[in-house]
Chain A
Amino acid sequence: MKLAERSSFSVAQNPCICRFSPQVVRLFVAVVMLCIAGRAQTTTGAKDSQEETIKVLLRRVDQLEARVKLLEEAGKTGSAPSPTPGSGQTTTPSESEAEQAQTEHAEPERMDVSKTLLRIRGFGDINFHGDNQKGDTTSFTLGQLNLFVTSDISDKFKFLSEIVFEGGPDNIYGVTRGQTNTFSVDVERMIVQYSHNDYFNLTAGRFHTAIGYYNTAYHHSTWLQTTTGRPFLFDFEDRGGILPIHTVGVSASGLIPSGGLGLHYVAEVGNGRESRSPFTEEPVQNVIDEQNHKAFNLALFARPEAVRGLQAGFSVYRDVLSPSQSPTVGETILAAHAIYIRPSFEWLNEAMVIRHTPQGQRLFETPGFYTQISRRFGSYRPYFRYQYVNSSSQEPIFPDVGRRQGPSAGIRYDASESVALKLQYDYTTIRNQQAISALALQMGFTF
């Protein structure tokens, strides 16, 4: 009764409901019942599918557990079969087995692709130097700080650059430019290499010209060099050097099928070196060539298998220079080298002749060579170098060089795997000038 009263009360309190007829109420109840039934059915379906999923997952867990067990057993027993002598190779898995395994372990070829592709290596040197040249003072000198950056762009492409910070003024063919104690930054090398196969590699960018051996062997790292510095012949363009050390262009290189002779080729085409004096600009023509003619260089060398460590070869470089207010000058550089390098012994020999032919004038030849020998005794490596360059005072491109020659002797001490201390004495005679005696102490390092 109370309930009826309550119901009636509630109905009385809700005029909207009290307007529904009993049929409508019955219909409403039926619909609600149907909905509930439907929902119950759906829930049952979901339950079924969940059960199915759980079963699948359990099966997968079982499979994985079995696999882990197998692997553990394999680990305990020290892995699979060892090679069968005389069978041609080890027991090779069947194709399906290998395929299955490949699928299971499938990983991309470049395993560290998710990590950074950029690698940076550094080289640097700090020097203490003194000589008897008039105007020179004994000084501590910061050498080059070289950030060597490489990146494997893809399977076939690689990026490589040398970003060098160096102090002091530039000296271009005897013309000094810049402040004494300020640092400047040079992108000394910036290349993209494409490696098709061992017989064909293509390089584009700014690279070291393949003239002789030294230029492409040591680049801007003093730590890699035995001595404190490069031979006269291979001095950098902005340090008084006479060669086109850097080229902006393209280079093809690779092996020449030659069996044990180990023949290699390098063919380069590029902007060549700036020749328009006065030299107020960067000597390497990074952006614009002063003329349409391009410089060409072809190098061939052999690394015979029979004498490991030996490399002998030659190169021919050809360019046309166009100094201001004078006729164009044909430049040909012929270079030859024979080097023998083993971990404990090195003997480098290079000779070249630089031929300049101003249009309608006589030929000027500048011969030069150096020989360098060293032997390692534990951490110590004493060395000796003799070098020679002889340029005419009428030389149309570098009249300042003259004849300079002399020996260098020194010792390198590898204080650790990455730090080398070098002490070097140089005696250089220069035509019509006082001979220079110099002593240098250098700490070269890589980091």
Chain B
Amino acid sequence: MLRSLDRLLIVVVVVGWLLGWGNHAARASVDQPNSSQEPLAIIVNTSNPVDDLSQPELRRIFLGERSHWPNARRITLVMMEPGQPERKALVTEVCQMNESDFGRHFLQGVFTGEVFVSPKTLASPVGVRKFVFNVPGAIGYLRASDVDSSVKVVRVGGHLPGDKEYSLRIQPSRASK
């Protein structure tokens, strides 16, 4: 009887481990937002009627699972180049992936035809800002300090980058330019 219970326990632990519970718990403890970290602002074109996006909505958008805004305009994703702290923050915080998985996700999405258009990659915050300014359906991200009046910042989960409760932040160790 004891041996059966032991086996059951081992199976439960192995299955739990396989399902990645351990990883999630570790992640959750690491990813607590810290108000000292610089916020990552989500920006859209000023003509975009969207003011607020929930975190799941944002994730679906940045994973290419949504291709149109409510006003039927096509969504154009703007990403910064791999290695940029802003991009890292978005990929880990919003998409909850690493860079390699993110790239693979898009490759597979385009391959299956589910992702209609792959993201535009731009090198600098100025480039991102300019692109979002020019393209009505664009959505991108910037450090809050790089945002200017040419683009519109959307709330994430009802909060703006200046709010304490705002969840999207850039890791401080890599935040310095």
Contacts and interface: CB of A to CB of B under 8 A. Distances in A.
B84 interface: no
A248 to B, nearest CB: 16
A343 B101 contact: yes
Contacts of A107: 134
Nearest to A88: B51
B107 A121 contact: yes
A195 B75 CA distance: 11
A197 interface: yes
B149 A92 contact: yes
| Most chain A CB inside 10 Å of its own CB: which residue of B111, B112, B137 | B111
Interface string B120-148: 10000000001101111100000011111
Nearest to B66: A198
Contacts of B162: 82-86
Interface string B157-177: 000111100000000000000
Contacts of A5: none
A217 B68 CA distance: 22
Contacts, number: 131
A430 B131 CA distance: 59
Contact of A89 (B51, B113, B135): B51
A203 B56 CA distance: 27
B153 A90 contact: yes
Contacts of A155: 74
Contacts of B152: 89-90, 92
Contacts of A156: 74
A310 to B, nearest CB: 12
A278 interface: no
A409 to B, nearest CB: 15
Contact of A82 (B96, B97, B98, B145): B145
B154 interface: yes
B36 to A, nearest CB: 16
B46 A92 contact: yes
Contacts of A371: none
Contact of A93 (B18, B41, B46): B46
Interface in A83-103: 83-93, 97-98, 101-102
Contacts of B113: 160, 191, 193, 203, 207
B150 interface: yes
A345 B18 contact: yes
A155 B68 CA distance: 11
A305 B101 contact: no
Nearest to A108: B134
Contacts of A342: 20
Interface string B71-91: 010101000000000000000
A345 B15 CA distance: 11
B10 interface: no
B151 A193 contact: no
A79 B134 CA distance: 18
A344 B144 contact: no
A221 B111 contact: yes
B160 A85 contact: yes
A347 to B, nearest CB: 9
B108 interface: yes
A343 B56 CA distance: 17
A158 B68 CA distance: 15
Nearest to A157: B116
A48 B52 CA distance: 59
B23 interface: yes
Contacts of A343: 97-98, 101
Given A155-B74, A160-B113, A81 B134 contact: no
Nearest to A106: B134
Nearest to A98: B46
A81 B74 contact: no
Contact of B134 (A105, A160, A308): A105
Interface string A65-89: 0000000000000111111111111
Interface string A230-254: 0000000000000000000000000
A417 interface: yes
A83 B153 contact: yes
Nearest to B152: A89
B110 interface: yes
A174 B111 CA distance: 30
Interface string A330-365: 000000000000111100000000000000000000
B95 to A, nearest CB: 10
A201 B66 CA distance: 12
A231 to B, nearest CB: 17
A305 B103 contact: no
A101 B46 CA distance: 12
A288 interface: no
Contacts of B98: 343
A148 interface: yes
A136 interface: no
B32 interface: no
A148 B107 CA distance: 11
B20 A93 contact: no
Contact of B20 (A78, A224, A344): A344
A100 to B, nearest CB: 11
Interface of B: 18-20, 23, 41, 46, 51, 56, 66-68, 72, 74, 76, 96-98, 100-101, 103-104, 107-108, 110-113, 116-117, 120, 130-131, 133-137, 144-155, 160-163
Closest 10 CB pairs of A and B: A85-B162, A80-B148, A343-B101, A93-B149, A90-B153, A197-B68, A79-B148, A83-B153, A91-B149, A195-B116
Given A86-B160, A109-B134, A191-B113, 10 more contacts: A79-B147, A82-B145, A88-B51, A88-B155, A101-B133, A102-B133, A217-B112, A224-B104, A343-B101, A345-B19
